[in-house]
Amino acid sequence: MFLHNNNKRAKITRRAIFLSLLLTVPFLSVFSRLYFLQIVSAKRYKRLSDKNSLSNKVILPQRGKILDRTGKIIAFNERVFRLNIIPEQTKDINAVLEKVNQLIGIADFEMVKIKKRIKESPSFYSVSIKDIITFKQAAIIEFNIPSLPGVYVDVGLERKYPFKDIGSHLLGYVSSVSKENLYKYKDPMFKIPGFKIGKRGLEEYLNFKLIGKSGMKQLEVNATGRAVKKVAEYEAKDGQDTQITLDYEIQGLVKDKLKDYAGSLVLMNANNGEVLAAVSNPSFDVNDFVNGINEKKWKALLENPKRPLLNRALNGQYSPASTFKMIVALAALAENEVDEDFKVTCTGKIKLGRRFFHCWRLRGHGAMNMKQAIASSCDIYFYELGKRLGIDKIAKYARMFGLGESLDFELFNVKGIVPTRAWKRIRTKTRWQGGDDLVASIGQGYLLSTPLQMAVMTARLGTGKKVVPTIRTGQNLEFEDLDINKSKLKIVQDGMDMVVNNQRYGTAFYRRSRKYRIWGKTGTAQVVSKRFDKHTKLKDIPYEQRTNALYVAYFNNGNTPLALSLVLEHAGSGSKAAGIANKLLDQIIPIIEKHNLELIKIEKKDS
Amino acid sequence: MDHLLRLSFFERLKYQLKNLPATFTVSLLLIVTIGFLLLFDAAKGDFFLYTYPQIIKFILGFFAALIIGLIDVRVIYKYSYVMFFVSICLLALVPIVGDMGKGAQRWLDLGFLKFQPSELVKITLILALAKFYHKVNMNNISKFKSIFAALSIIAVPSVLTLIQPDLGTSLLIIMIGLSIMFACGVSKWFFGTIIALGVVAVPIFWNFVMYDYQKKRVLTFLNPESDPLGAGYHIIQSKIAIGSAGFFGKGFMQGTQSHLAFLPEKHTDFIFALLAEDFGMFGSMCLIICYIILILSCVKIAMNNRNHYSSLVAIGVGVCIFLYAFINMAMVTGLMPVVGVPLPFVSYGGTSMLTLMIAVGLVFNAAIQKEEKLPSETRF
C-alpha cells in the first residue's frame, strides 16, 4: 500500500514537472508575439496609432492682396460673418433655431436643410446656419447670444474686387478647386471644401505667390472623433501681397470712355514693357464668380452678342488694317527694295491680272513718297511695295515687331496670324496669289493681330528695341535693339508723326491732341468684302458690317514713352478711334506724370 | 491535525498562517496590485470607478480564501462530489432561468448577486476529479473503466456549457480536466489519442456544432482586417495599442489608444492591451513573469503536499490560472480568436475574482495542511 502510494506520488511529481515545463511553451509564444508586435512592427503600429488618434486640422493662410502700381487695392479679403450652431450645446435645438428665425429670418427651405445637416453630423460638430450674414445681423445675434445656446458667429474671409468690372479680364477671380484638379496639389488646404484658388487671369498666374502655405493644428481625437487636446500647431504662412503694373486710375478712365463700344485699349510703357492699362469692353463683375456665378447672370454673359467674357486685349483678333503699313514700309526700306524718295502715283486703283484694287480714296492721292504715303495711308503705294516684297519678306518684319506669335507675357495671349506662302498652302490648300500680297500689304486678308500685339508693335517702332510686355512690377527690363537701321526706322517714325501732325496729309490731323505731340497711325478694317458708298452714314450700315476702327499711337515722353493701341469694333473709321485715343491721352499723360512723381516719392520714403 | 488540537484557537491560527505559501502569496499580491493600477488607469484616474470596488472584492475574496485555507481538508474532500453535483445543477438551471448576455445564456441571478455557474464548475470539477483520482489505484489509472469515469465527470459540465452556448468555457473545462488526468499519470497513449481525435473533430465541430457567431470569431481572428469596424475591430485596435507602445510603453495613463476609447473593453477582457500600451513589452513581461511564478508555486505546493487530493487540486488550480492568463493574452495579442476570458486577478469583474479567490483558497489549503493524510479507498 505504502509502496503503491509512493509510486503514485513519484508519478505525480514527474508529471507535474513535465506539465510545468510544458506550460512555458505557450508563455514563450506570448513573449515572441509581444516581441513581434512591440519591437519588430512597432513603427507600423505607431503609425496606425497616430492615424487613429491624431487628427490634423488645416489652418488656412490668408490670400495675398493684389495692388496696382500706385498701391490701390484691387483684390483683397473681406471679413464675412457666418452663423453656426453646435447641436450638443443646446437642449432644444428647434427652439433655438426658431429664435434665430425671429431675429434674422431663416427661409423654410433653409430650415429643412439645416435640420438635415444637424441630423447627419455628430452632435459636437459645428453646423452652419447661414453662410453669409451682414454685420448688422451678426450684431443682433451677438446681442442675444445668452438666449441662444450653441449658436456662435465666426468670421471668415471672402475675396473681394472693389473695382468690380474694371480690369476684370486681366484680374481673373478665385473659385473652388474642381474635383478633377485636386490630385495636382499636395498641400492639404486644397482638399478643404470651399477653399478657393485663382481660376483666371492674374489670380491664376500669381496663385502660388498669393496663396501662401497652410498651417496645421494637430489634435488628439477619441474614437468618436471628438477633439481631446491640442498636440501641436504650425502657423500658416500668408500669401504675399503682389503689385502689378496696371494703373487703375487710367484703367477706370479708359473703361468709362469705351463704355459705348465693344473694343479694347492697351497702353504700355515702351521703355520697360510695363502694361499700364489693358481694357476690354464690355466686361463683367468678377465678384459674381467668387461663390459661383448664378445661372441667370451666366446665361446673360454667354448670350450677349458683344461677348463680354472675351478678353479682347489679349485674345481678340483683328485685322491690323492700315496700322500694318509701317511694317510694310520698313520691310521695303530694310530689304532695300525702295528708299524714302520712292514715289508712286495714286490714281485710286491699280490693276493686277484682270482685277482692280482700289485705294480707300477713290479719286486717288496723286504722287506720293513714303512719308506722305504713310501719313495719308495711301493703299496704292503699299500695293506697289507689297508686290515688290512678296508676303514672305513682309512676314519676317511682322514677326520682328511682335505680330503672329504669342508674346512672352505673363498671361495667355493668342498668336494672331501672319500669313506666308507655306502657311496658306497648308491652311487653305490653295496657292498664294499676287492679289494676296496686295491685300496683306494694307493689313487685311489673312492677317490677324491682337491689341496687345499692336501696342507692342508700336512700342518697338517707337523705340527700335525688342520691347516685351510685362505686368509684374519692379523688373526694370531692358531690351536689345531690333535688327533695323535707325535711320530707316526714323523715316517710318516721321511718317507716323505726319499722320497726326501734318495738316495736308495726316488722316488724324483733325483729331489730334492739342497738348502733346503724339505719333500715330489710323486703321479702318473692313470686316466684310463689301464697299459702301462714302456718303453712306454709319448708322445706316448693319452693325456687324461696319468697319473696325483702329489706332496705334506713340508718345515720346522721356522716361515713360507710351505706346497705345485702340480697337473699336464696328465703330467706323480709324480717325474716329484716333480722336478718342488722343483725347484719352490728353488725360492719361498728366496722370502718369503725377503718379511717376508720387512713385518716386514712395521710393524715397522707402530708402 | 491531531497534534494541533491541544493548542488554543489563536495559537493554531498563528501556526497555520505561518504555513501560508510566501512566493505564491507575494506573486498574487503583485498581480492584483498591477490590476489595481491598470483599473485606475482605465478609469482615467477615477479611483472609485473600478479600482475601489475591485480592491473591496479582492479583500473579501482574500478573507474567503484564508477561511477556505483553514477549513479541514477532510471536509472539503468529503463534500467534493456534492459541490460538483450542486454546481452542475446550477449550470443546468442557466438555460431555464438564466439571463441573456451577448447572445448566450451564462448568468444566473441569485437576487443579491449575478454569477456564472460555468465559473464555479471549473473549481468543483477540479475537486471532483482530484477526489476521483485520489481513490484510484495506480495500476488501474490507465484502464478503460477509470478513464471512462473521469471523462464522464468532465463531459457533463463541458456539454452543459457548450449548449449555453459557450464554446470557450467548454474547451477550458475539458483542458482543465485533461490536465489533471495528465498530472496524475494517465497513460501518454491516451493523450496521443485525444490529440488525434481533436484534429479529426475540428471540421466536424466547425460544420455541426459551432454557432455562426463563433465561426465568425474564428474567421475574424484569421483575418481581422476583413471586417475592421465589425468583428475585427477589437483585435485590430488591441494590436495597434500593443504594437504602438514599443519596449517601455507610452507611460502610466499616457496610452492614446486606450484613453481615447479606440480600445474596447479596456478594463475587462482587453486590460492586457492597456498594460502593454502604457508599460510596453517591459511591463507585459513583468506581469507574465508574475504569472509564471504564481503557477510554478502552485506546482511546488502540489509536490510538497502529502496527499494526492490536495496535490491534484493545487495542480488543477495552477492549470486553471495558466489557461485563463494564457488564453486572455493570446487573444488580446491576436494569437487566438476572441473568446470571453478575463485576465485572472487583473480584469475588472466580480464572478471571476470570486472564483479565482476560491481557487486561491484551495491552494492555501493545500499549503497549510500539507501534512494531512486522507483515507485512501481504492474502488477501481
Query: Once rounded to an integer, what is the mean pLDDT over residues B260-284?
Result: 87
Q: Band of the pLDDT at B4, cuts 50, 70, 90?
A: low
For residues A349 and A361, give the distance between their C-alpha atoms in angstroms, rounded to a whole number.
9
Look at B330 and A33 and tell me if their CB atoms are within 8 Å.
Answer: yes
pLDDT confidence of residue B110: 62
Interface with A, mutate which of B136, B138, B305 (most A CBs under 10 A): B138
Residue B106: pLDDT over 80: no
Residue B169: pLDDT over 90: no
Task: Tell me whether residue B323 is in a domain.
Answer: yes
Q: Band of the pLDDT at A17, cuts 50, 70, 90?
A: confident
Q: Band of the pLDDT at B222, cuts 50, 70, 90?
A: low
SS3 A405: coil
Size of chain A in residues: 607
Query: Once rounded to an integer, what is the mean pLDDT over residues A537-560?
Result: 88
pLDDT confidence of residue A121: 74
Task: Tell me whether residue B9 is in a domain.
Answer: no
Chain B residues whose beta carbon lies within 8 Å of the beta carbon of residue A228: 260
Q: Of A13, A38, A45, which has the smallest distance from its Cβ to B247's Cβ?
A: A38
Q: Band of the pLDDT at B18, cuts 50, 70, 90?
A: confident
Query: Once rounded to an integer, what is the mean pLDDT over residues A330-350?
Result: 92
For residues B354 and A189, give the distance between their C-alpha atoms in angstroms, rounded to a whole number.
57
3-state secondary structure chain B: CHHHCCCCHHHHHHHHHHCCCHHHHHHHHHHHHHHHHHHHHHCCCCHHHHHHHHHHHHHHHHHHHHHHHHCCHHHHHHCHHHHHHHHHHHHHHHHHHCEEECCEEEEEECCCCEECHHHHHHHHHHHHHHHHHHHCCHHHCCCHHHHHHHHHHHHHHHHHHHCCCCHHHHHHHHHHHHHHHHHCCCCHHHHHHHHHHHHHHHHHHHHHHCCHHHHHHHHHHHCHHHCCCCCCHHHHHHHHHHHCCCCCCCCCCCCHHHHCCCCCCCCCCCHHHHHHHHHHHHHHHHHHHHHHHHHHHHHHHHHHCCCHHHHHHHHHHHHHHHHHHHHHHHHHCCCCCCCCCCCCCCCCCHHHHHHHHHHHHHHHHHHHCCCCCCCCCCCC
SS3 A212: coil
Which residue would you say has higher pLDDT here, B9 or B248? B248
Q: Where are the domains of chain A?
A: 57-243, 248-284+313-605
The alpha-carbon gap from B10 to the nearest alpha carbon of chain A, in Å, equals 33
The model's pLDDT over A569-584, given as tens digits with 9 standing for 90+, comes to 999 899 999 999 999 9
At CB < 8 Å, which residues of chain A contact B? 1, 4-5, 7-9, 11-17, 19-20, 23-24, 26-27, 29-31, 33-35, 37-39, 41-42, 44-46, 48-50, 52-53, 220-224, 228
pLDDT confidence of residue A189: 81
Task: Tell me whether residue B2 is in a domain.
Answer: no
Look at A15 and B182 and tell me if their CB atoms are within 8 Å.
Answer: yes
Residue A107: pLDDT over 60: yes
Query: Once rounded to an integer, what is the mean pLDDT over residues A544-556?
Result: 93
Structure ipTM over 0.85, yes or no: yes
The model's pLDDT over A418-438, given as tens digits with 9 standing for 90+, comes to 999 999 999 999 999 989 999
β-bridge partners, A196: A176
Residue A231: pLDDT over 50: yes
Residue B221: pLDDT over 80: no
Chain B residues whose beta carbon lies within 8 Å of the beta carbon of residue A33: 330, 333-335
Chain A residues whose beta carbon lies within 8 Å of the beta carbon of residue B281: 34-35, 38-39
Look at A223 and B292 and tell me if their CB atoms are within 8 Å.
Answer: no
Interface with A, mutate which of B186, B235, B256 (most A CBs under 10 A): B256
**Contact criterion met (CB below 8 Å) for A494 and A329:** no
Which residue would you say has higher pLDDT here, B187 or B96? B187
Which residue would you say has higher pLDDT here, A321 or B2? A321
Q: Considering only alpha carbons, which residue of chain B is nearest residue A23?
A: B322
Mean of all residue pLDDT scores within chain B: 85
Query: Number of folded domains in chain B?
Result: 1
Most confident of the following: A82-91, A244-253, A290-299: A244-253
Domain extent for B311: 17-368
Q: Band of the pLDDT at B186, cuts 50, 70, 90?
A: confident
For residues A22 and A519, give the distance between their C-alpha atoms in angstroms, rounded to a whole number.
108
pLDDT confidence of residue A81: 86
Architecture of domain A57-243: Alpha-Beta Complex (3.90)
The model's pLDDT over B204-214, given as tens digits with 9 standing for 90+, comes to 877 777 777 77
pLDDT confidence of residue A2: 43
The model's pLDDT over A120-175, given as tens digits with 9 standing for 90+, comes to 777 777 788 887 788 888 889 888 888 888 888 888 888 999 998 898 999 999 88
β-bridge partners, A554: A519, A563
Query: Once rounded to an integer, what is the mean pLDDT over residues B136-145?
Result: 83
For residues A126 and B277, give the distance between their C-alpha atoms in angstroms, rounded to a whole number.
33
Most confident of the following: A402-411, B196-205, B234-243: A402-411
Q: What share of chain A is helix, strand, coil (3-state, %, to 5)?
A: 45, 20, 35
Residue B304: pLDDT over 60: yes
Residue A313: pLDDT over 90: yes
Looking at domain A248-284+313-605, its CATH superfamily turns out to be: DD-peptidase/beta-lactamase superfamily (3.40.710.10)
**Chain B residues 8-37 with CB within 8 Å of chain A:** none
Residue B297: pLDDT over 90: yes
Q: Is B313 on the interface with A (CB under 8 A)?
A: no
Nearest-5° angle of CA A155, CA A161, CA A166? Answer: 170
